[in-house]
Structure 1
């Protein structure tokens, strides 16, 4: 008999009421120990907020609008009652818990296995009409507490203060393993349930790398000036020389830096840096060459979505490579004549498309600019220093760039097309040089901008690759107007020629597990983009107030602004002055938007910052 869902929901409720990490870990550990191997595997996946594993391409495609309809139908609540419940609780799952209290008592019959099957059925159903009866059946059988966490799981927002890293630690503690062993096995396999079963069986050391699931991306910390870049990079090199491990949590690392500080001059630090251009494209991870699946190629965005359909010529080009590899790099629009990147605006029309026409391919050619090699043949290279990974990448590019010239367009429409213009390498090695002086860094930034790139990257040559981590080992220098990556939380109908479309967007930054609104913008997007967002937000509405609606926090925008001010207009305590949308960040997951702390940093570094009262 599978474990009851009610007990899982009670655990989630306990987890949501404490901020103590060790207490959360203890609760999860004790719960896992009480389960069979099969149920523990299901529970770890659900606790991490995922209905399916990373290597499973299925999605639920269940929006807030559909879930709201189901909750309203089952509870009998009208729009006013739904709105009031949502405003009281701040999310639909908690609102459903309130609204379902008035229902006739439901027996506790659902199990974790039942939920696994129900989620599979919902994912397989086509469109809202196919999914709605399955949702009704599932939530009708749920107790109020079960419904609360089922809705949270299906909407991708558990809000119990548990990240996957904490679940990984709990697995280790429950089954006498090391957290590093668990993390490595998950990175290799891409399956939390599979790794849970391996931990129970004591076979974590048997995990093998499986291509075609995205590894986490190593991230760079932003700096605005050459002086700031050198200062922060010097801190990083001093830590490396002190033997402070990059694998340590950031707070431990900072403490170790102070304890074991080694004097490092800026000039010494600079000479341990690799300098690259920062390209204005889409960060991507490319997998190819698996002998078990010859010809298969996958492209993953930073939010681990497969984006190969938007760039078919890259799939066609890399399918000729038979050497197993994972490349980290940037997809950029490319001028093959001048051998230089085109502006991001040239690439933007390609994003999110499932069908790319021959005309679009010819108008906006793309290449994969590789700057790191994460896996080669049968070896994961993450623990090797950047200098070694770079050397291997250079050899890989030299061996295979010619093969990537062959982009054969598929389909009968292309049988008689002269595709000679397609014959240029789609694999480009990102130029990199050793940094030797501050003057060189300043000059390199100017030259990178002249080439149409965003700025420059500064990387420690001895740094290991840390999936999902942002530290000082990689810095990005961009001298532009202040920008923030934010998520849209509300959409409003426009005025004048924009009446009838949702063109005014309220947006938020992260503050711990919460989202805090910080501004509103309505300029910067094209009419076509606004039309697409209007359709999207109507499908993902949480509350509809007529002219304004709250929406699921799914769309990430990059916004620029003149300055930032203290303000009680928004719950963040700040407001942006003259905000405008630079672009939709389809390549960026919500988990990586900017934080309230980052907004405060920008506020405090403004030369014309007003005095706080």
Structure 2
């Protein structure tokens, strides 16, 4: 058996190393050493180093958050609340705080924890029926840990190792350690959704035997933002063009991808040509204001099972049972569809803003009242798997053809009722299969158009905005699907709202390297009577040097120190950008900015000149996709 101490000590080394190549070499050496001691534990070593308690394909959850772990740490270290707070404030990380608390308490048992011990404890904790039982299991595990082991046990259980190692780097190290092809390793990880299993297969030389399994999310392909149609055209002009049209599309995983930024692409023959003269071949879709999800269904081995996965790979199916009901009768074989979950106006047949959908996010029980108040649909725009084949390497135009063929077969059965009928004897809701033919159509196919110039993009953008949508997605017609990648073959052109000048009214300490600084800022606008009304919070957009200066100023001008949060004098004016404005009861202004980000500190602007509630209301009303109001 291999000791967990090997991973903990390696993690300390990796956290102090900035070189990617040195990290990869160290991880490969660690995997090789563990494999030599215990081949069956090498996979667990890789899995845990990547910060995963369970493989992606494993639906189990540890269900141990910071509150439970803090109680366990306190019980083992006998630390007072003040000591716990001080240790956390020192590092901004519960794992590092635990290390200090265990050291201070003299808790230093002999290292005996193995990877199998962790595996068994995690399995027990995941099926514990009560928090008390789960806490007992994890207390036993942590009691056996020496300080450095406890540090990384806590980080692992919280899913945040903070050692500068992503799964992609672990995959590279596996390829090095097992002398395997990186593309084969990544393909196996993607198909099996199990890093530990892929590690075992790499050493066993069976990576080519990996097969796709449904009901684990693949990575989502992402789009890069652009602000103008001309910028989109210039981006697309940089996409390398194959000289031979008969050359098959490249595989979706590179053997050893170099670290090249998008800006590294160069335009050769088109460098001197104006954007107006450049012609592109792009597929245009509306950019909807919903939740990006991946839909899995049709597995013959699990009839009727349907799953929806969000971008953070969470199973969100139970919050949207209408979609599961609609696709439960799909008989077109196993498939994975990529699309957007939308709140939908059934009468007007148009998407509603995210603010309408958001109350349903995370809901465990969906009543008829919720179903009828916020109907939902699945707007499909890509197909990733069908007919027992992954389709990622096909060009977008071919995937679209296949998606249209699938939709044509499914549209007859993908209905579900707006509200479920109540059974006469129990009053409970029951799904009537016959109603599937007369209910709401839950599958919609994202309309597309083709664009060849900036003028085409501009027209498409304006039309999308008139339909109340955020903007447009612009996708190269020849693009393959690259899971988890944000490249230049997909871009999004979104609306450009005005910015707001706001004043900081509160500040919180950050996390990680920002744990010693006030780096999360609550800000306000001015009411007609002159009062300051909070409208949002932001932490991105300021430099480290600016954060240091802001922290010093905010500490000197604190009105109320609540520990992690401080109310401060309104003296720092910020210019903030945001995606849109929503009605909200969370802030005194009655509004909330969605995805706010700091553009700059306005040292030139006095408090009296910050924006007003009237201005926020004006921006809100200018949004064509704002929710309808009574």
Same fold (TM over 0.5): yes
**TM-score when normalising by structure 1:** 0.79
Alignment of 1:183 onto 2:204: no
Instruction: Give the C-alpha shift of residue 94 in structure 1.
Output: 1.1
Secondary structure (helix, strand or coil) at the match of 2:64 reads: coil
Q: Is 17-26 or 230-239 further displaced after alignment?
A: 230-239
Q: 1:76 aligns with which of 75, 78, 86?
A: 78
State the match for 1:50 in structure 2: 52
State the match for 1:10 in structure 2: 9
Q: Cα–Cα, structure 1 residues 395 and 44, in superposed 2: closer, same or farther, change >3 Å?
A: same
State the match for 2:405 in structure 1: 395
Q: Cα–Cα, structure 1 residues 32 and 471, in superposed 2: closer, same or farther, change >3 Å?
A: same
Looking at structure 2, the residues matched to 213 and 272 of structure 1 have their Cα atoms a distance apart, in angstroms, of 33
Per-residue displacement from partner, 1:357-388 (whole Å, max 9, x unpaired)?
Answer: 11211222111100111111111011111111
| Length, aligned pairs only | 542
Alignment of 1:105 onto 2:108: yes
Looking at structure 2, the residues matched to 520 and 255 of structure 1 have their Cα atoms a distance apart, in angstroms, of 34
Instruction: Give the C-alpha shift of residue 481 in structure 1.
Output: 3.0
Looking at structure 2, the residues matched to 203 and 307 of structure 1 have their Cα atoms a distance apart, in angstroms, of 33
- Contact 2:338 2:383 (C-alpha < 8 Å) held by counterparts: yes
State the match for 2:366 in structure 1: 356
Instruction: Give the C-alpha shift of residue 270 in structure 1.
Output: 4.4
Alignment of 1:527-538 (within 5 A): none
Instruction: Give the C-alpha shift of residue 599 in structure 1.
Output: 6.3
Unmatched tracts of structure 1, length 5 or more: 485-491, 495-503, 524-556, 585-595
State the match for 1:440 in structure 2: 456
State the match for 1:295 in structure 2: 304
- Contact 1:372 1:390 (C-alpha < 8 Å) held by counterparts: yes
Looking at structure 2, the residues matched to 481 and 509 of structure 1 have their Cα atoms a distance apart, in angstroms, of 30
Instruction: Give the C-alpha shift of residue 171 in structure 1.
Output: 0.8
Alignment of 1:163 onto 2:166: yes
Alignment of 1:123 onto 2:130: no
Looking at structure 2, the residues matched to 368 and 26 of structure 1 have their Cα atoms a distance apart, in angstroms, of 44
Looking at structure 1, the residues matched to 305 and 480 of structure 2 have their Cα atoms a distance apart, in angstroms, of 28
Q: Cα–Cα, structure 1 residues 511 and 389, in superposed 2: closer, same or farther, change >3 Å?
A: farther
Instruction: Give the C-alpha shift of residue 251 in structure 1.
Output: 3.7
Alignment of 1:432-581 (within 5 A): 432-481=448-497, 506=508, 517-521=519-523, 568-569=549-550, 576-577=574-575
Q: Cα–Cα, structure 1 residues 247 and 8, in superposed 2: closer, same or farther, change >3 Å?
A: closer
Q: Is 238-247 or 442-451 further displaced after alignment?
A: 238-247
State the match for 1:150 in structure 2: 153
Looking at structure 2, the residues matched to 214 and 286 of structure 1 have their Cα atoms a distance apart, in angstroms, of 9
Q: Cα–Cα, structure 1 residues 425 and 105, in superposed 2: closer, same or farther, change >3 Å?
A: closer
Q: 2:220 aligns with which of 207, 217, 221?
A: 217
Alignment of 1:259-278 (within 5 A): 261-263=268-270, 266=275, 270-278=279-287
- Contact 1:225 1:479 (C-alpha < 8 Å) held by counterparts: no
State the match for 1:347 in structure 2: 357
Q: Cα–Cα, structure 1 residues 409 and 122, in superposed 2: closer, same or farther, change >3 Å?
A: same
Q: Cα–Cα, structure 1 residues 559 and 85, in superposed 2: closer, same or farther, change >3 Å?
A: closer
Q: Cα–Cα, structure 1 residues 316 and 117, in superposed 2: closer, same or farther, change >3 Å?
A: same
Alignment of 1:22-61 (within 5 A): 22-34=21-33, 35=35, 36-61=38-63
Instruction: Give the C-alpha shift of residue 63 in structure 1.
Output: 1.6
- Contact 2:226 2:232 (C-alpha < 8 Å) held by counterparts: yes
- Contact 2:219 2:484 (C-alpha < 8 Å) held by counterparts: yes
Q: 1:233 aligns with which of 191, 214, 236?
A: 236
Instruction: Give the C-alpha shift of residue 326 in structure 1.
Output: 0.6
Q: Cα–Cα, structure 1 residues 269 and 62, in superposed 2: closer, same or farther, change >3 Å?
A: farther
State the match for 1:195 in structure 2: 198
Looking at structure 1, the residues matched to 21 and 540 of structure 2 have their Cα atoms a distance apart, in angstroms, of 42
Instruction: Give the C-alpha shift of residue 285 in structure 1.
Output: 0.2
Q: Cα–Cα, structure 1 residues 431 and 251, in superposed 2: closer, same or farther, change >3 Å?
A: same
Looking at structure 2, the residues matched to 132 and 446 of structure 1 have their Cα atoms a distance apart, in angstroms, of 55
- Select the structure of larger CA radius of gyration: 2
- Contact 2:89 2:516 (C-alpha < 8 Å) held by counterparts: no
Secondary structure (helix, strand or coil) at the match of 1:180 reads: helix
State the match for 2:444 in structure 1: 428
Q: Cα–Cα, structure 1 residues 179 and 510, in superposed 2: closer, same or farther, change >3 Å?
A: farther
Looking at structure 2, the residues matched to 240 and 483 of structure 1 have their Cα atoms a distance apart, in angstroms, of 44
State the match for 2:569 in structure 1: none
Looking at structure 1, the residues matched to 134 and 414 of structure 2 have their Cα atoms a distance apart, in angstroms, of 42
**TM-score when normalising by structure 2:** 0.77
Looking at structure 2, the residues matched to 164 and 211 of structure 1 have their Cα atoms a distance apart, in angstroms, of 21
Looking at structure 2, the residues matched to 225 and 513 of structure 1 have their Cα atoms a distance apart, in angstroms, of 37
Give the root-mean-square deviation of aligned CA atoms. Answer: 3.9
Per-residue displacement from partner, 1:133-158 (whole Å, max 9, x unpaired)?
Answer: 22221111111111111011011111
Per-residue displacement from partner, 1:365-413 (whole Å, max 9, x unpaired)?
Answer: 1111001111111110111111111111111111111210245948733
Looking at structure 1, the residues matched to 517 and 276 of structure 2 have their Cα atoms a distance apart, in angstroms, of 41
Looking at structure 1, the residues matched to 481 and 320 of structure 2 have their Cα atoms a distance apart, in angstroms, of 26
Q: Cα–Cα, structure 1 residues 37 and 514, in superposed 2: closer, same or farther, change >3 Å?
A: farther
State the match for 1:498 in structure 2: none
Instruction: Give the C-alpha shift of residue 99 in structure 1.
Output: 1.6
Q: Cα–Cα, structure 1 residues 59 and 346, in superposed 2: closer, same or farther, change >3 Å?
A: same
Secondary structure (helix, strand or coil) at the match of 1:402 reads: coil
Looking at structure 2, the residues matched to 423 and 507 of structure 1 have their Cα atoms a distance apart, in angstroms, of 50
Instruction: Give the C-alpha shift of residue 520 in structure 1.
Output: 2.1
Q: 2:388 aligns with which of 378, 383, 386?
A: 378
Looking at structure 2, the residues matched to 103 and 563 of structure 1 have their Cα atoms a distance apart, in angstroms, of 42
State the match for 2:617 in structure 1: none
Q: Cα–Cα, structure 1 residues 152 and 447, in superposed 2: closer, same or farther, change >3 Å?
A: same
Instruction: Give the C-alpha shift of residue 109 in structure 1.
Output: 1.5
Looking at structure 2, the residues matched to 218 and 575 of structure 1 have their Cα atoms a distance apart, in angstroms, of 37
- Contact 1:481 1:562 (C-alpha < 8 Å) held by counterparts: no
Looking at structure 2, the residues matched to 396 and 516 of structure 1 have their Cα atoms a distance apart, in angstroms, of 52
Looking at structure 1, the residues matched to 133 and 499 of structure 2 have their Cα atoms a distance apart, in angstroms, of 41
Looking at structure 1, the residues matched to 301 and 57 of structure 2 have their Cα atoms a distance apart, in angstroms, of 16
